[in-house]
């Protein structure tokens, strides 16, 4: 499913009308957003954050952000990590509790992130590059949630 189709589903299945037309005329933004999604979810060099984990975390963030259609789209790519897409999972069974807790905090309590959070990941063996990768993923999904929310508002007033 394309990013446009997923976004259309997330805003209530709107594939025509003024909101859809506005989105279609912004193909450069949609293309850049798709490229950013590819870069954070399926990069050529995934480091210590494999693609299925990235998809599960993205699904988790989208679900917590109130976007179940977007969460379902991401969960499709979660494979063996699908359990982590569920906000009730703390990641301990997979040995990823530190990553799940950090991602949840970055996504849902951003202003509360402190140096200790980074130090905790580092002491758990997460490389600095992977910490950046986690933050990039979280930032991208937050951006996407805001785009969808904005389109929903546009649709409500159209």
What digits encode the pLDDT tens for the residues 114-124?
999 999 999 99
Domains along the sequence of the chain with CATH: 3-157 (1.20.1290.10)
pLDDT at 23: 61
**DSSP 3-state helix, strand, coil percentages of the chain (rounded to 5)?**
70, 0, 30
pLDDT at 12: 54
pLDDT at 33: 80
* 55 pLDDT more than 70: yes
List, as one string, the DSSP characters of 3-28: HHHHHHHHTTS--SSHHHHHHHTTHH
The model carries a pTM of 0.82
């Amino acid at each position: 499913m394309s990013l446009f189709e997923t976004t259309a589903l997330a805003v209530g299945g709107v594939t025509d009308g003024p909101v859809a037309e506005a989105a279609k005329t912004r193909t450069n933004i949609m293309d850049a957003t798709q490229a950013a999604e590819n870069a954070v979810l399926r990069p050529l060099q995934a480091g210590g954050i494999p693609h299925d984990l990235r998809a599960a975390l993205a699904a988790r963030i989208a679900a917590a952000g109130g976007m179940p259609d977007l969460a379902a789209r991401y969960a499709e790519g979660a494979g063996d990590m699908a359990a982590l897409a569920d906000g009730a999972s703390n990641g301990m069974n997979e040995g990823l509790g530190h990553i799940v807790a950090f991602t949840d905090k970055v996504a849902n309590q951003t202003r509360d992130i402190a140096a200790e959070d980074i130090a905790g990941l580092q002491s758990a063996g997460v490389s600095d590059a992977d910490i950046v990768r986690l933050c990039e993923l979280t930032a991208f999904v937050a951006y996407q949630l805001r785009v969808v929310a904005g389109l929903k508002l546009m649709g409500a007033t159209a």
